């Protein structure tokens, strides 16, 4: 036996970028696994939108015309804005069933103050939004301090705020809107040149944001996103933006209302992903007790989220009233609540909390709105429309539950 012991080669130290925050290389197999496990919700809903558009275009050649696409986007603005607040509530693992009634009530407050009491349009709109925030604070108080399930509190709100709406509207039942500012929210369009400037600026901003995030990860010692994946996504988003503006310019141009919706989605997407408050929302939705023990003020997070939900419902109600040029007893009713909740769920926001993105409000609104718009073009009855929309929601919830169970089984293995 040799006197000199053979020294074993020490194992290489693991790359710290693969220990925390590493992003896997892009591959078709990884993409398919991501779809199966609910990781690529945006891709799944975009494929769903494409499929829906192909089906309805094959049944009615007017579906993909510039005029109908413009009308479709205008139709989804109100629902999309309300869905932004819904996403925040769903991320907490809660539910808000009052959003439809809140949107109708706040729209009624705005209309009555403006038309019957002579308030200027801007103060009337602000009063409606403040009323929405107050309703959210009221409902959040009962959820927080009396530990009443949000389902029960907001179900009571659905009924109670609808009665309040009827009281505000009075015997006439309908208030027609003539104010230029309120009507212009959904009836004004950017010129062709301005539309292209906004599109190019949006593409540049998206690319710059992605590059900044890559640099930030690299400076933190984390592996940045795979360059191929980043490049493909940036190109696809850029093409989508430019094609959308091109199509809209064939009709009346880029609507102000669509830009308002995208701005709200972008702001809340930033808040939920880039701020401490947003991280706390995800944490509380994932495990409220663990979040409380970690020092997060769960009560304040819940109260703030319910305030934001009702505030966004009020803003959506204002936009819906602007689109219809009136507020009546059915404002915020019918399938408005179903569409506002179904959109984010269909687009991948989990009903179980802690999983989803604000962008699902936009994508889900487009998907659900496309189905509704297509059924209107085909002149389907209301009964069929309700059944199809309900079926889509049930399918989305089933997929959400199935992917959740799959992730749990993978963790156990």
Give residue-wise pLDDT tens across range 4-34.
Answer: 444 444 444 444 333 333 444 545 455 445 5
Bridge partners of 328, per DSSP, are 174
pLDDT for 313 equals 96
Which CATH number belongs to the domain containing residue 374 in this structure?
Answer: 1.10.3470.10
* Positions in the chain whose pLDDT score sits under 50: 1-24, 26, 28, 31-32, 35-38
pLDDT at res. 40: 58
Residue 114 covered by a domain: yes
* Other CB atoms within 10 A of residue 244 CB: 17
The pLDDT value recorded for residue 407 is 67
- Domain membership flag for residue 158: yes
For residue 116, being part of any structural domain is answered with: yes
Residue 34 lies in a domain: no
Please answer whether residues 321 and 77 qualify as being in contact, where contact means their C-beta atoms are separated by less than 8 angstroms: no
Domain-embedded: residue 136: yes
Determine the structural domain holding residue 316 and report its residue range.
42-188+255-397
Q: How many independent structural domains does the chain possess?
A: 1
Burial class for 92, CB neighbours closer than 10 Å (0-12, 13-18, 19+): buried
Reported pTM? 0.87
CA distances from residue 309 to 27, 80, 100 in whole angstroms, order as listed: 38, 12, 11
For residue 180, what pLDDT is reported? 86
Q: What is the pLDDT of residues 194-229, one digit of tens each?
A: 999 999 999 999 999 989 888 888 888 888 778 888
Single out the residue of 312, 287, 314 nearest to residue 301, CA to CA: 287
Residue pair 265/87 in contact (Cβ under 8 Å)? The answer is: no
Q: How big, in percent rounded to 5, are the helix, strand and coil portions of the chain?
A: 75, 0, 25
Helix (H, G, I), strand (E, B) or coil at 129: helix
- DSSP secondary structure letter of residue 13: P
Confirm whether 410 is domain-assigned: no
- Give the pLDDT score at 28: 47
The answer to whether residue 19 is domain-embedded is: no
**What torsion, rounded to 10 degrees, do the Cα atoms 137, 143, 148, 150 define?**
90
- For residue 219, tell me if it sits in a domain: no
């Amino acid at each position: 036996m040799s006197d000199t012991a053979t020294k074993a080669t020490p194992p290489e130290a693991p790359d710290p970028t693969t220990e925390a925050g590493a992003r896997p290389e892009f591959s078709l197999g990884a993409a398919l696994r991501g779809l199966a496990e609910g990781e690529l919700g945006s891709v799944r809903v975009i494929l769903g939108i494409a499929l829906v558009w192909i089906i309805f275009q094959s049944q009615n050649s007017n579906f993909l015309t510039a005029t109908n696409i413009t009308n479709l986007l205008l139709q989804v603005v109100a629902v999309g804005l309300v869905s932004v607040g819904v996403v925040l509530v769903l991320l907490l693992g809660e539910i808000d069933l009052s959003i439809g009634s809140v949107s109708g009530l706040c729209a009624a407050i705005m209309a009555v103050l403006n038309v019957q009491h002579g308030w200027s349009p801007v103060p009337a709109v602000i009063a409606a939004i403040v009323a929405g925030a107050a309703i959210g604070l009221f409902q959040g108080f009962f959820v927080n301090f009396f530990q009443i399930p949000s389902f029960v509190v907001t179900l009571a709100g659905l009924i109670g705020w609808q009665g309040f709406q009827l009281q505000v509207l009075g015997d006439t039942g309908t208030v027609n809107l003539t104010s230029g500012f309120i009507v212009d929210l959904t009836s004004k369009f950017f010129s062709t040149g301005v539309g292209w400037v906004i599109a190019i600026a949006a593409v540049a901003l998206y690319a710059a944001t992605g590059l900044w995030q890559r640099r930030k990860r690299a400076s933190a010692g984390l592996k940045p996103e795979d360059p191929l994946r980043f490049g493909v996504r940036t190109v696809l988003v850029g093409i989508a933006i430019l094609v959308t503006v091109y199509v809209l310019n064939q009709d009346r141009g880029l609507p102000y209302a669509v830009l308002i919706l995208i701005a709200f989605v972008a702001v809340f997407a930033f808040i939920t992903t880039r701020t401490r408050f947003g991280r706390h929302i995800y944490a509380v939705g994932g495990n409220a007790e663990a979040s409380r023990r970690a020092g997060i003020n769960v009560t304040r997070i819940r109260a703030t989220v319910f305030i934001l939900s009702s505030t966004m419902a009020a803003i959506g109600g204002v936009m819906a009233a602007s689109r219809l040029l009136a507020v009546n007893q059915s404002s915020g009713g019918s399938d408005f609540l179903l569409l506002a909740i179904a959109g984010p769920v269909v687009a991948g926001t989990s009903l179980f909390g802690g999983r989803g993105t604000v962008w699902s409000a936009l994508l889900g609104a487009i998907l659900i709105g496309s189905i509704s718009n297509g059924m209107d073009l085909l002149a389907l009855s209301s009964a069929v429309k309700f059944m199809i929309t309900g079926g889509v929601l049930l399918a989305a919830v089933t997929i959400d539950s199935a992917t959740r169970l799959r992730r749990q089984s993978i963790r156990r293995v």
